[in-house]
Amino acid sequence: MAADPYTLLGVSRTATEADIKKAYRKLAKELHPDRNTDNPKAAEKFSQVTSAYDLLSDKDKRARFDRGEIDGDGNPAAPFGYGAGGGGPQGGFRADFGGEQAGDFSDLFEGLFGGRGRAGGAGGGFAGGFGRRPQPKGANVAYRLTVPFTDAATLAPQRITLADGKTIDLKLPAGVESGTQMRLSGKGQPGPGGNGDAIVTIEVQPHRFFTRDGDDIRIDLPISLSEAVLGASVRVPTADGAVMLTVPKGSTSGKTLRLKGRGFHKKGGGRGDQLVTLMVDLPVDDDALVEFVQGWKDKDRNPRGNLGV
């Protein structure tokens, strides 16, 4: 019998999406194979909680599970009254709802069994198709893939090696972020009903000077005093490579310039921007600059006057 996904994640059936995600992240961190190299049971448990999260994070699958239509592995649940001790159709199965015979519910069984359980239909009535339970698929296999920041921003293909030694190139989805899961159909463990799936959880690496702000990318860009005062055209790094940026004359530290379409790909299409914050970098021990400022008439101006200080 498939394990209850709520029990595996340690959450109640009324848990919110945020509660489920929080519980999964805690368990995934504790059970990750990289942290439990000498504990194969932890790797098995990691795969189970990942499969449970995959089911409960999908609104449609969660609703179907709550209604009893599928089990914890996502497979169709056994019909009511069928199974061990339940009396199959050849054992005199009858459904009595206010005196109605089971045969009167042919539309219901047609929906459940694709027409094979219809009285007088293909398969010769109930016994022809009602006893064919779907075979379970193999177990899902969990993977964690670390993706460089710039690759996530540009959706560069990522190569991953599966448990069977085969390598495949993954196409990252728009809006990818740490915690994004990708399902590789049929790349899991074999089973009577076919292979399970591979569930790949993405972890986006931090960058040494880029930071993410939603779909935008931010960077602090040092500029010289002369570039700030006189204006200049300077090179600035982006996730796609360096580009030229015009620094307006009279720029000050904290001024932010926008590079359109240089951010992360959005789920709905298009890309975010890159926000470049200028930081004026003054030279150290520059006697000429000190002498200039001492004789500069602006040195007595209070730039904090609008703050009341």
Do 221 and 280 fall into the same domain? yes
Total number of domains constituting the chain: 3
Q: In angstroms, rounded to a whole number, what is the distance separating the alpha carbons of residues 148 and 174?
A: 15
Do 217 and 194 fall into the same domain? no
Domain edge (last residue) among 159, 181, 206? 206
Do 148 and 119 fall into the same domain? no
Q: Kindly state whether residue 149 falls inside one of the protein's structural domains.
A: yes
Q: Kindly state whether residue 241 falls inside one of the protein's structural domains.
A: yes
Percent of the chain with pLDDT over 70: 81
Do 171 and 198 fall into the same domain? yes
CB 18 within 8 A of CB 87: no
Do 109 and 140 fall into the same domain? no
Domain edge (last residue) among 150, 179, 206? 206
Domain edge (last residue) among 72, 98, 129? 129
Q: What sign has the CA pseudo-torsion 104, 108, 112, 114?
A: positive
Q: Kindly state whether residue 198 falls inside one of the protein's structural domains.
A: yes
What's the CATH number where 248 sits?
2.60.260.20
Q: Kindly state whether residue 253 falls inside one of the protein's structural domains.
A: yes
pLDDT score recorded for residue 51: 87
Do 192 and 225 fall into the same domain? no
Q: Kindly state whether residue 10 falls inside one of the protein's structural domains.
A: no
Q: Kindly state whether residue 68 falls inside one of the protein's structural domains.
A: no
Q: Which of 92, 93, 91 is nearest to 79 (CA)?
A: 93
Q: Kindly state whether residue 38 falls inside one of the protein's structural domains.
A: no
Question: Which pLDDT band holds residue 250 (cuts at 50, 70, 90)?
Answer: very high
Q: Which of 188, 179, 118, 121 is nearest to 152 (CA)?
A: 179
* pLDDT above 60 for 90: no
pLDDT score recorded for residue 12: 92
Q: In angstroms, rounded to a whole number, what is the distance separating the alpha carbons of residues 223 and 282?
A: 9
Residues 43-81: tens digit of each pLDDT? 888 888 888 898 899 998 999 888 888 888 888 875 544
Going through 207-307 in order, the beta strands assigned E by DSSP cover 211-213, 216-224, 232-236, 243-247, 256-259, 274-281
Do 112 and 143 fall into the same domain? no
**Mean pLDDT of all residues in 83-102:** 38
* pLDDT above 90 for 42: no
Q: Residue 102 belongs to what domain range? A: 89-129
Q: Kindly state whether residue 221 falls inside one of the protein's structural domains.
A: yes
Region label for 239, one of left (φ > 0), alpha (ψ between -120 and 50) or beta (otherwise): alpha
Residues 101-158: tens digit of each pLDDT? 333 434 433 443 444 443 334 444 444 444 466 788 889 999 999 999 999 999 999 9
pLDDT score recorded for residue 240: 97
Tokens of 307: 């703050």
Most confident of 61-75, 99-113, 198-212, 282-296: 198-212
CB 73 within 8 A of CB 2: yes
